[in-house]
A and B are shown apart, each in its own frame.
Chain A
Amino acid sequence: MALVGMIMKMKRTELINLLLPLNEKLYQMAYCLIPDDLQAEQLVIDGVNAFLLKEAKWVAQFTDGEVDPKKAAGLRRQLLKKILRFQFEIGQKRSFQLIEQYRTDIPSAFKKFYDLDVRVRAVMTLRFDFLFQTEEIEDICQMPRFEVIEKLHNGRFMLSKDLNTKNISQESHA
């Protein structure tokens, strides 16, 4: 029991416990940037590694002192946003290089989404899938507010333009 208690108090284990439940979301975002299983997996790992290296001061709280369990949910959300920032930074460059390679394998239901610019895809995913606020997206994508709003507007327009055509054609058939 004493050993279990000691292990529970280990700081890096606490960081891992915060980190692992984020895998689903990190992978989802990575796949929206690069539509390939292996590339998405690698992007998750690279995003976390970049975060651990570049945010060493923030990460130091897991080696320097006790982490208040009441703050775990808040810390996990901060952790997600910080990692997403690095993942987006790396993923957008990689997507420019790789997207053409995977374009033929994209399921037809998602072709329209992957026809969007990688930055528009990121903003759309963060807003409509992760439900982040505009200010949070500004921070994650390191974009000024007007650019986030512009990309949301463009993405919505490009994805929903068929909806209006569909409605009109349904109405005219009725």
Chain B
Amino acid sequence: MSEAFSYFNKNVTAFIDGSLDTNAEGEFEAFLRTHPEYLPEIEAKQAELNYIKSFIPKVELDKDIREAIASELKQSVFLLVRPKHATILQKAKMKIEEWVNS
């Protein structure tokens, strides 16, 4: 296996789905400019990836569900996140915090 082929294979998926960091992405683009023979494969992989992504459901968070989750999560945080040995002042602050966020 050539060095160029192994470099291409190692980076192609991350390049297509946009998860390479900026430097690695720049390097890969420079590689493609000097190795145009890989461009058809990039197009084929892009088509495959789009096809795969089309099967993963995209859910829109309904307003009611969003509000219900937000309210439950606030309650959970106030109930479960407490300092072990709270002073009276801390307890008072926490009460105000809960009241303000309710």
Contact = CB atoms under 8 A, between A and B. Distances in A.
Given A31-B59, A35-B57, A41 B68 contact: yes
Interface in A53-92: 53, 59-60, 62-64
A59 to B, nearest CB: 6
A170 to B, nearest CB: 12
Contacts of A24: 61
Contacts of B1: none
A16 B69 CA distance: 12
Contacts of B54: 109
A15 B74 CA distance: 9
Contacts of B58: 28, 129
Given A16-B73, A23-B69, A31-B59, A129 B81 contact: no
A19 B49 contact: no
Nearest to A64: B83
Interface of B: 14, 17-19, 47-49, 51-59, 61-62, 65-66, 68-70, 72-74, 76-78, 80-83, 93-94, 96-97, 100-101
Interface of A: 6-7, 10, 12-13, 15-16, 19-20, 23-24, 27-28, 31-32, 35, 37, 40-41, 44-45, 48-49, 52-53, 59-60, 62-64, 107, 109-110, 112-113, 124-125, 127-129, 131-133, 155-156, 159-160, 163
